[in-house]
Every structure is written in structure tokens, then in C-alpha cells.
Amino acid sequence: MSKGKNSAFMLGILAALSLAHGLNDAMQSIISAIYPLLKVNLSLSYGEIGLIALVYQISSSIMQPIFGYIFDKRPAGWFLPAGLLCTMSGLILIAYAQGLYALMAAVFVSGIGSSIMHPEASRITSLAASERRGLGQSIFQVGGSCGFSLGPLLAAIFVREQSGVAKFAILAFLAIIALIPACRWYSSKIRRDRLEMSDMGGLDAAKGCLPAKTIWITMFILILLMFSKNFYSVSLSNYYTFYLMSKFGLSVQSAQMLLFVFLFSSALGTLLGGPIGDRYGRRLVIWWSILGSAPFALLMPYANLTFTVILSIFIGFIISSAFPAMLVYAQELLPMKVGFVSGIFFGFAFGAAGIASAVLGKLADFYGIDFVYGICAFFPLAGIVAYFLPRVRSIQAMKKSN
């Protein structure tokens, strides 16, 4: 196969993974988008909404590193459709849940779907992208971000009652169809050349690049940055509709539309973060994206409706560009454990968001949603710790120079 054809084939695999990621995350974001509906239907408090979100995020946080570790040790080509079936089952259960505990069980099932999808699809993305991992992760992530941003819009248009959530199970079927080419390619690759898969950034290449102590300190810094990013992001994604309704008196549908605007701006930022990191360095992207959003975050609690929407667009665009750069940076530190690393970072992202959601829900019950936004505005300032990330080239660049 010629190089040109091979490149086009890899782009096709990345596109299929991105599409499936988008459909999966659209289903997942519908859950948070209907929190106001569930709150009214089942007479839930903010704290109970936060607890539901916590259960969902913990199911992803706990299981993603475990699945990632298993996928590294025993790769197989058809795990992704199984994850999508879990997501689909969770949505159907949510549609007919009649109490807090039934909802908690339903979102737990849906969370298992994400815990399979994210580390495994990210691992396949890394293989398909070859040396342009930042671009590959951005293509994969932008699908998820676009899908996640569409969830509130779909909910606003099509969901008028709780049982209407079940109709979105068809998205899981479409995602499975989209994944067939990627699953066949990956299965064939596993059978064809396991050694080649291990050699793409293998452990030997990583040895001598950085001391083990430096690697784990760097991982700790990256996780700290991920926590600050997601603690703030969850205040927008999970409670933005409540904030707009409380402060500006918007309807549920109008607030959901503005949530879509914020999430769509985040998708655009995700698309740029990876390729910029490939070209100019991932450390620079991480530094700029998290700390760069701080001035806008600090202004938002004091803005009127128009400027709140404008500031949310800037915040979403800037802060979301960090994730592809952070993920690939970590993958290149531990290149033999791509699935495990992906599981940690996707899992930590979800877990931190779940903890934040529960904490923020309780704070909102006691002090009000405006108070929550005032506190969260300071979290992007934690991006200053990116200064301590080592200035390293990618593993591929190191291999070429040796």
C-alpha cells in the first residue's frame, strides 16, 4: 500500500472513531442536560442532582484505568461496541426511572459505557495517528466535544418528558455501525503484528529520556492541572443552565441553547489544541489554555447576560484546548501504557467532575448558585503550576535524535 493510501486510510479510521465518540458523548451529555427536568419530575434537590452526577462519574473514573490496563495487556478489536451497548442501556433505564436510586443505577450503567469507550478508542487513535498524535487526539476529541455540545440542543428540541430520553438509544446503534471499519482494522492489526504495535513508542524508547522520578512528578502535575480544569469546567457544563435561569430568569430551553453555545466553543478549542501542540510544544498549549482562561472566568460572575455568553465562549474555547495536549504529553511519558494512561486521564477527568458536581450541588443548596460561580472562577489560576512541567520533546523526536 502506498504512503498516500495508508495516510488516507488512517484518516478514515480517525474519522470513524471521532464520529462514534461524538455519538456516545451526545448520549452522555443528554443526561446532564435533562437534570432540570429530572429535578422537577422527581422533586430532587441540588444535592441529589450532584449525587446522581457523582455516581455516573465515579463509574467512569474507577473503571476507565482498569479497562485501559486490560486493553494494554490483552488488546481485542470489539470492546467498543460493548461499551456503546452499555450507554444505550443506561439511557433506556433513565427514561423509565421513577426514583433517586433507580436513576443512580441507570447513570452507573451508562458510565460503564464511557469507561470502555474512552481508553480503548484513545488507544486505537494513538496507533492510527502514528507520529501526529496531537492531531489524532484532536480529531478524536472534537468528535466527542461536538457530540457533548449537541446533547443540550437535542434535549431542548426533542425531550419534553422523561420517557423521551429513550429515543436517543438509536444513536448507539449508529455509533456501532460507524465503528465497524475501525474494529476490523484494529483486529487485523492485532493479528498481523503485535510486536509492531508494541514498538510504536515502546518502553525501550522511553528509557533514558526522563528519570522515573521526573516522569511520576510530571504525571502528578498533569493530574493537578486536570483537576483544576475540570473542577471549573463542570461548574459550567452541569450547572450553567441553573445559573442562567437563576440569575437572568431564562427558561429551561433558552438556558439549554446557551449551554450548547458554550460546549460548541469548547469543541472548537479541542480541535486546535492537539495540532498546535504537535508544532509548538504541548507544554506551551497546557500553560496557555488553563491559565489563559482565568481572566475571563474571574469576570463572568459580574457580567450581564450578553457578556456572560461572550465570556463563556472565550472560556470554553481556551480551556478545552488543554486536554489533547495533556493526554498526548502523558502518553509519551509512558508509551507502553497508552490505554492505562488514557484511562487515568479520561477517568480522572470524569471523577474530578463528579466530585466537583457533588460538592458544588451542596454549596448551591446552602449558598446559592451565584456563590458557586464566584468560588469556581479562581480555579483556572492553578494553571500556573504548568511552569514546572519539564521542557521535553516528544518521544518520536527523541528517537530520531538518538
Checking if the pLDDT of 6 tops 80, the result is: no
Checking if the pLDDT of 351 tops 80, the result is: no
Structural contact between residues 328 and 137, judged by C-beta atoms closer than 8 angstroms: yes
> Which of the given ranges, 38-47, 57-66, 107-116, 342-351, has the highest pLDDT on average?
107-116
CA atoms of 279 and 262, how far apart (whole Å): 27
Checking if the pLDDT of 81 tops 50, the result is: yes
CA atoms of 108 and 104, how far apart (whole Å): 6
CA atoms of 50 and 146, how far apart (whole Å): 24
Residue position matching grid coordinates 423509565: 96
85 band by pLDDT with thresholds 50, 70 and 90: very high
Q: Higher-confidence residue: 18 or 10? A: 18
377 band by pLDDT with thresholds 50, 70 and 90: confident
Residue type, 121: A
Structural contact between residues 95 and 42, judged by C-beta atoms closer than 8 angstroms: no
Structural contact between residues 188 and 66, judged by C-beta atoms closer than 8 angstroms: no
Mean pLDDT for 71-79 is 80
Query: Cα dist. 350→61, 226, 344 in Å?
Result: 6, 10, 10
Q: Dump pLDDT digits (tens) for 88-105.
A: 999 999 999 888 999 999
Q: Dump pLDDT digits (tens) for 259-315.
A: 888 888 887 888 888 888 888 778 888 888 888 888 998 998 889 999 999 999 999
Q: Higher-confidence residue: 254 or 152? A: 254
The set of residues, in sequence order, having a beta carbon less than 8 Å from that of 309 and lying 6+ positions away, is 258, 261
pLDDT the model gives residue 145: 76
Query: Cα dist. 324→45, 328, 329, 348 in Å?
Result: 35, 6, 8, 14
Residue position matching grid coordinates 436517543: 168
Q: Higher-confidence residue: 338 or 199? A: 338
pLDDT the model gives residue 209: 58
Query: Cα dist. 191→9, 13, 117, 184, 284 in Å?
Result: 18, 17, 21, 11, 38
Checking if the pLDDT of 22 tops 80, the result is: yes
CA atoms of 147 and 30, how far apart (whole Å): 10
Q: Which residues of 309-330 are buried (b: 16+ CB within 10 A; e: fewer)?
A: bebbbbbbbbbbbbbbbbbbbb
Domains of the chain: 3-401 (1.20.1250.20)
Checking if the pLDDT of 400 tops 50, the result is: no
Residue position matching grid coordinates 442501556: 89
pLDDT the model gives residue 195: 58
Identify the burial level of 99 via C-beta atoms within 10 angstroms of its C-beta, where 0-12 means exposed, 13-18 middle and 19 or more buried.
exposed
Checking if the pLDDT of 69 tops 50, the result is: yes
252 band by pLDDT with thresholds 50, 70 and 90: confident
The secondary structure element, H or E, covering residue 195 is helix 194-199
